[in-house]
Amino acid sequence: MKLVTAIIRPFKLDDVKDALSAIGVMGMTVSEVKGFGRQKGHTEIYRGAEYAIDFIPKTKIEVAVADDVLDTVIDAIVESAKGNKVGDGKIFVTALDNVVRIRTGETGAEAI
């Protein structure tokens, strides 16, 4: 099992969620983060002076998936989150030793 963590643009969340649902992903966990990267930040004005803000609002999606669907999931995210501009984001894949469903105590792939 793998944990797929994607950092995407906030307004793409609905598209990504729909794309994942479409390929049968049943669950995901989402949080608000701030990103720093190649994408230029913006400037802000404060009482008549301008200064640079480096951090950009991003959304993080975490999806635990079985190994066999890993590539499909990555493709789905890439397709739905892509805007072809710097700052579209990244996907990180880590190995999951185990997954447990709290309600039932099930473990492994059935718990996903």
Ligand X SMILES: Nc1ncnc2c1ncn2[C@@H]1O[C@H](COP(=O)(O)OP(=O)(O)O)[C@@H](O)[C@H]1O
Give me the residues that bind ligand X (CB under 6 A), please.
7, 27-29, 35-39, 56, 58, 62-64, 86-90, 101-103, 112
Return the DSSP state at 92.
E
Q: Is 53 near a copy of itself (CB under 8 A)?
A: no
Q: Is 91 near a copy of itself (CB under 8 A)?
A: yes
Task: State which residue, 7 or 65, has the beta carbon closest to other proteins.
Answer: 7
CB of 65 to ligand X, least distance (A): 7
Residue 6 CB neighbour total at 10 angstroms: 26
With H, G, I as helix, E, B as strand and everything else as coil, classify residue 103: coil
Return the DSSP state at 108.
G
Strands 2-8 and 90-95: antiparallel
CB of 10 to other proteins, least distance (A): 9
